[in-house]
Chains A and B, each alone.
Chain A
Amino acid sequence: MKKKYLLYILVLALFSACEPKIDEFSPSEGNADFTTYLAMGNSLTAGYADGALYISGQTYSYPNILAGQFELAGGGAFTQPMMPTEAGVGVGDLGLRSKLVLGMATDCLGTVSLGPVPFDPAPDQLEYLGYLVTSVAADGPYNNIGVPGIKSFHVLAPGLGLLNPYFGRFAANPATDMLIGEAAKVNPTFFTLWLGNNDVLTYALAGGVIDSITPEPIFSGSMDAIVGALTANGASGAIANVPDITTIPFFTTVPYCGLVLTDEADVAALNYGYAPLNFIINQNGGDTLAFTLGANPFVIADASLPWGVRQIKAGELILLSIPQDSLKCAGWGSMVPIPEQYVLKADQIVAIETATEAYNDKIAELAGTFSLALVDMNSYLKEFETGMIFDGATYSTQFILGGLFSLDGIHLNPRGNAVITNHFIDAINAKYNANLPQVIIQDYPGIQFP
């Protein structure tokens, strides 16, 4: 009988090693040539995230992830102008700052809650300036020439490097170079181009108080020149359009109806306080201010009204940059109108959406004329408003828990970059009959909870 058991064990050993085989994915470039890839764009392309440009943010930029997939189908090396620190450098209201991380913060009411906090609470401005302006041009030219903050027409502006240190740090001659000149140095066989966000976003981030939306003719003229230059040597590529920026967490996290009154006395005090103003408004035929128990629309400043104050309407947006403590403890939104720089009003939203549509018409036209893959980010981001599921996890435009956006509410986190990389890949595969594999989204880091 011993022999039988030996046989039994032998058979076990034999089959435990056996693994079913499935044909492996075979990547191919199709009609495209990924040998030399150039990524042009703004902060999203540069890998800016959590309010700063920093090493791992750049590592997980969508162009860098995409280049990794190109490499499987003939793509070559891909270089980026890496920042010197993991803390990074961002440009904030109070000067240069580090990236944001998720942490515990105590507000003016003494409540401790989870939210974005600076990685470096007291950035030394000189030190950070040093990180930002130290030139890395000697190691260039770079394949990723995404520059945070740039608008379409900046690409063609000589001396951009003096105004924008994120370009200045990798421009050989910051005082004279144009960003488009970097493309010629790289001489790509394939490019991605994602521009136009800042042509509306810079205005929106300031509540429309400063800056302005780039007029469509300027956008179109710039884009004609940029795409013309990129394709001059026969490169093929992909062009992404502009998402509806009013759907990103920066504009959707603070609710318009966020003035919650739980005490009759507060309701009475506010109604009493605004009574004289309401008297004037009534005489002039405007919307009076009224408060009830429960959720009320915030009180905002509106310079277009003679009396300068009204309650915010549904569909209008309060920016994530609003100082939370002012809302909670300084009477902002109730006794004190929220300043205009923290609000996007209905007419401003219409102006942003009109411009975005015009830009996207131009981008679609360019994709057709130059036979480029069109990556429709505008429609794609809309699908995430109600949530999209990948491999059993739900991703949405919700701040922090949505899993796509970084802690600044504007830029994507690494998983968000993986999601849009896959969208680029789908468009490129379809246009060029290529067979690039998608990436596994959850293999990239999401927001780290403490």
Chain B
Amino acid sequence: MQTSKINLMKKITLLLTLVTMVTWSTFAGGYQVRLQGQKQTGIGLIGTPFNFGASSIFYNPGALSMMKAKTNFQLGASGILSNVTFQKSATNYQAHTENPLGTPFYFYGARKITDNLAVGVGVYTPFGTTSKWNDDWAGRFLVQNISLKAIFIQPTVSYKINDMISIGAGFVYAMGDVELNKALPYNNNSFVNIKGSTNSIGYNLGVYIKPIEELSIGIDYRSEVLMEMEGGDAVFTVPASLSTTISENNKFSASLPMPANLDVGFAYQITEDFLIAAEINYVFWSVYDSLNFTFEENGELLNSENPRLYENKMIIRLGCQYKLNDKFVIRAGGYYDPSPTNEDYFTPETVSLNTTAFTFGFTYKPMKNLCVNVSYLHTLGSETDNSYDPGNFSGTYKTSAAIPGIGISYHF
């Protein structure tokens, strides 16, 4: 028992070092990242119809009060290895991103106060994108590199009405950071750096239903979180003779919506050891209509309205789980995640293409109270012709992503 606690502490230290370099790379679905639990990731990123302990805080707060243990902690992270290749229309020009490793992470802690009432808190990272192109690439006037990240903190309460139904709700406090570089069409090495952070609030509501022993149903709604940034820093690097036209230090305002999600999932226990599950996620992406920048100085020259015209999309997921023995559970899944982007308003800052992906995972239980959960997600490369019409920038994009992940769950 004592050694396992020490091991646990070591792992926490390791994962926290990963957290300090937390960035994401886009691998699907706009800038949303659903890698908020290793068990769920392994089973096709399905979460609502499960009672996987404290990670229900993100996937379905309704299921939290159904957890079997009295206290549960979960901690984990994934490593997103994703890259994009771009072939510019009508040219022999190709570019590749040099994306850094993306490391979304989560931490959940939950405790049952009574048999029917559970409380918990989650810290997780449901949105983010990183695209790092070369500074002198052909799309440099649109973006050179961007890093967008959000950390959500969610205190949660869940109540079990009876053995068949439980409900839950969480309050979301969100912190967001954005940094963006883009080149300016003057001498080489003229560029603007935009940087800012903000916070916002939202909520997460869920219902978990178990009409019969073999079947479970989950419904979850996570609200939109609108990140509004005021007074962010914009630093313009331009030739000296233009410094009277474009001042070096400026402030900007912009807002970016993190869309609402409605998830409905089913899980069915075919045998005692074998389970299948399906889920749909409806993502309300249409809130991302335009990305507008307003500058404090030189606004007439610098202010911009940049259409994005995202569309609402539905993701379909399938998965299964098999319990090999008391120590091993294996999982597999797959999903189709259609891109919310508009083909005529597609920018290289968020290269989101229609994605088909497969997932695998397992749980290893070295001792009674501890689970080690490992997942692996692989997207099938899709190739799409897209254009950003307002900038007359078009070409073929292809992405690939491989995402290994590991997490631990400790309960008592």
Contact with A along B395-412 (1 / 0, CB 8 A): 010111010101000000
Greatest chain B CB density within 10 A among A1, A391, A438, A442 is at A391
8 Å CB interface, A1-47 against B:
1, 4-5, 8, 11-12, 14-16, 18-25, 27
Rounded to whole angstroms, the CA-CA distance of A22 and B388 in the bound complex is 19
Contact across chains for A390 and B85 when beta carbons are under 8 A apart: no
Contact across chains for B392 and A389 when beta carbons are under 8 A apart: yes
Contact across chains for A20 and B83 when beta carbons are under 8 A apart: yes
**Could you tell me the distance in whole angstroms from the C-beta of B105 to the nearest C-beta in chain A?**
14
Partner of B94, one of A24, A27, A72: A24
Contact across chains for B88 and A114 when beta carbons are under 8 A apart: no
**Could you tell me the distance in whole angstroms from the C-beta of A247 to the nearest C-beta in chain B?**
21
15 A-B residue pairs with CB within 8 Å: A11-B376, A12-B81, A12-B101, A15-B402, A18-B402, A20-B381, A22-B94, A22-B398, A390-B392, A391-B139, A437-B90, A437-B92, A438-B90, A446-B187, A449-B187
Other A-B contacts than A391-B141, A392-B139, A403-B185, 20 sampled, CB-CB below 8 A, are A4-B374, A4-B406, A8-B79, A12-B81, A14-B402, A18-B402, A19-B85, A22-B85, A22-B86, A23-B87, A25-B92, A390-B392, A392-B388, A393-B141, A393-B185, A437-B90, A439-B91, A442-B141, A448-B187, A449-B241
Does B7 sit within 8 A of A, measured CB to CB?
A: yes
Rounded to whole angstroms, the CA-CA distance of A403 and B141 in the bound complex is 14
Chain B residues whose C-beta falls within 8 Å of the C-beta of A449 in the assembled complex: 186-187, 238-242
From B96, which residue of chain A is reached at the shortest CB distance?
Answer: A19
Nearest 5 A-B pairs (CB), nearest first? A392-B141, A449-B239, A392-B391, A25-B92, A15-B402
**Could you tell me the distance in whole angstroms from the C-beta of B11 to the nearest C-beta in chain A?**
8
How many A residues, CB 8 Å from partner? Answer: 41
Chain B residues whose C-beta falls within 8 Å of the C-beta of A12 in the assembled complex: 79, 81, 101, 404
Contact surface of A with B, Cβ cutoff 8 Å: 1, 4-5, 8, 11-12, 14-16, 18-25, 27, 72, 102, 104, 114, 388-394, 403, 437-440, 442-443, 445-446, 448-450
Contact across chains for A21 and B85 when beta carbons are under 8 A apart: yes
Chain A residues whose C-beta falls within 8 Å of the C-beta of B299 in the assembled complex: none
Rounded to whole angstroms, the CA-CA distance of A438 and B138 in the bound complex is 12
From B366, which residue of chain A is reached at the shortest CB distance?
Answer: A1
Rounded to whole angstroms, the CA-CA distance of A23 and B94 in the bound complex is 10
Does B140 sit within 8 A of A, measured CB to CB?
A: yes
**Could you tell me the distance in whole angstroms from the C-beta of A434 to the nearest C-beta in chain B?**
12
**Could you tell me the distance in whole angstroms from the C-beta of A12 to the nearest C-beta in chain B?**
6
Does B84 sit within 8 A of A, measured CB to CB?
A: yes
Rounded to whole angstroms, the CA-CA distance of A104 and B239 in the bound complex is 13
Does B329 sit within 8 A of A, measured CB to CB?
A: no
**Could you tell me the distance in whole angstroms from the C-beta of A314 to the nearest C-beta in chain B?**
26
Does B127 sit within 8 A of A, measured CB to CB?
A: no
Contact across chains for B91 and A440 when beta carbons are under 8 A apart: yes
- Knowing A20-B84, A390-B392, the reply to whether A1 touches B94 (Cβ < 8 A) is no
**Could you tell me the distance in whole angstroms from the C-beta of A117 to the nearest C-beta in chain B?**
12
Partner of B85, one of A20, A391, A392: A20
Partner of B239, one of A5, A393, A450: A450
Partner of B392, one of A19, A102, A391: A391
Rounded to whole angstroms, the CA-CA distance of A191 and B245 in the bound complex is 44
Rounded to whole angstroms, the CA-CA distance of A443 and B88 in the bound complex is 14
8 Å CB interface, B149-163 against A:
none
Chain B residues whose C-beta falls within 8 Å of the C-beta of A104 in the assembled complex: 241
